[in-house]
Structure formats: C-alpha cells, structure tokens
Amino acid sequence: MLQCDGFGVYETLNKKIDSLALMNCMAHIRREFFDAQSNDAQRAQTALTLIQLLYQVEEKARNLGLNPEQRLELRLQESKPIFDQLGQWLRSEYNRVTPASAIGKAIQYALNRWKTCSCSWPTATLKSIITSWKILSVPSPSDAKITSSPAPMNRPSAPP
C-alpha cells in the first residue's frame, strides 16, 4: 500500500508492480477544495465541511486511544457514511459545474482519486491496511501550495 497524491509516476509504478496498491490522500483532495473557495465558495465549503467531519472522527479515535480494530469499527460506523455522502455529492455536482473552473477541477481531482481513496471500506483488506492509515490528519489552511501545475487529467466518468 502506497499513500500518494495525484503525481503520475505513482500510476506508472502501480501498473508495473503487481503487489503495489495505491491509496490517495484526503488531505490533497481537501487542498483542491480549499483552493477553489474563491471560485465557488458554497460548493467548496460543502466539500470542506464533509472532509472536516471525517477529520473529527479521526480526532475522536486519537482522543479515545483506540486500537486498530476499534479505529476500524469507528471508521466504518462514523466515517463511511460521511465518505459515502461526500462521494454522492461529488457525483451529483460533477455535471453541474464547468470542468475548467477551479471547483470543476477540484471535483474532477477528487473523482479521479475516489476509488483509491476509499480503499473498499468494508473488506478484510481494509482491516489490514487501516492500522497504519493516517490520511485524515488535519492539514492547516496555511499548508504550502504546490507551485507546479499537475499534468492535465482526463475527465473521469463519475464512479458508481
């Protein structure tokens, strides 16, 4: 399992190494919506609010000192419904925004990585992965912005 952002080299490695599985980072998805606030504050805030709810579940797990199995149970009970709601929202908003706009690019970025961000929540594979899952650590708004532009992405089909 390799936690990563949208850098293309990871996809190339994933195709060449059978045993490698990618897991995209919610913090990178969050940053895209944070940056899109000036374009469409309402939609960006919707995404940021849902992501913040995911962070709150992680904070709760840390504060309670939960072991990996307990964290998994908490994530399945509390995070998965939020995650599913965010995914539904992304798919519903996808065709309502201009793809070239900042909010359109943020939604596209998230949808391009959705499958590898979800890690198939209810599977046994997730249970073995979840013990080291740290993708939901809370980034601050002052996080450094990536100065180089990512490679152009193909507009994805909205995931099922």
Taking only the tens of pLDDT, the chain with its 160 residues reads: 556 566 666 667 666 767 666 666 788 899 999 999 999 999 999 999 999 999 899 899 999 999 888 888 998 999 999 999 999 999 999 999 999 999 999 999 999 888 777 654 444 334 333 333 443 333 333 333 333 333 333 444 554 4
CA-nearest of 159, 5, 2 to 84 is: 159
Residue 45, pLDDT score: 97
CA-nearest of 140, 143, 160, 156 to 55 is: 140
CB-CB contact of 5 with 67 (8 Å): no
Query: What is the C-alpha to C-alpha distance for residues 159 and 110, in angstroms, rounded to an integer?
Result: 11
Taking CA atoms, 9 is separated from 14, 42, 43, 80, 100, in Å, by 9, 33, 30, 29, 24
Residue 26, pLDDT score: 83
CA-nearest of 150, 108, 119 to 21 is: 119
**HSE on the CB side for 147, CA within 13 Å?**
1
Residue 8, pLDDT score: 63
Query: What is the C-alpha to C-alpha distance for residues 20 and 1, in angstroms, rounded to an integer?
Result: 6
